Chain A
Amino acid sequence: EIVLTQSPTTMAASPGEKVTITCRASTSVSHMYWYQQKSGASPKAWIYETSKLASGVPDRFSGSGSGTSYSFTISSMETEDAATYYCHQWSSIPLTFGSGTKLEIK
């Protein structure tokens, strides 16, 4: 099973601040996927195939990485970005998720 280790677990950012979340895979994966989940709602696809933004996602979001190391970045934090973000790999069964990064507004 590919274990995805996300960091940090929680963080707070001020409006306008740059945010970076990392996700390390225990084995190389071909791509990483990122999801946003707000309280009481289901996860939403946010970034797919490592760096492509899902429909409707603002371009202040970006993703990068390869192999076992991936990152998720918000160039300038906005209030609406407060949520929990998860990384996810589809490369092998079982599909696995990171434990999530809770991002709060400062």
Chain B
Amino acid sequence: GQQLNQSPQSMFIQEGEDVSMNCTSSSIFNTWLWYKQDPGEGPVLLIALYKAGELTSNGRLTAQFGITRKDSFLNISASIPSDVGIYFCAGQLGNAGGTSYGKLTFGQGTILTVHP
């Protein structure tokens, strides 16, 4: 089956620093998604990427869909304490009929700790 390798596994940074994390896959995806999960909660969608090469921002977050469709990165600028949590990448495929839906393959997650 498909596997996503997400790195780094954890990051300890100072408030105000920028953060970068990435995911690579052994096969291509049609959509790349980035989620954040707080303790005891479900993942919350941060950014969705639909086209190879696409660069999308959501406030201080910026994500890119790799040209090869096998990778994606997420950057967080000027981190703040509430950025703490686990960040997951997820790849989504469509089926042979061209339909697409939320069947996701997840990375292992990046645990982000921000020191004030």
Is the A/B pair a real complex? Answer: no
**Measuring CB to CB, which residues of chain B are less than 8 angstroms from any residue of chain A?**
none
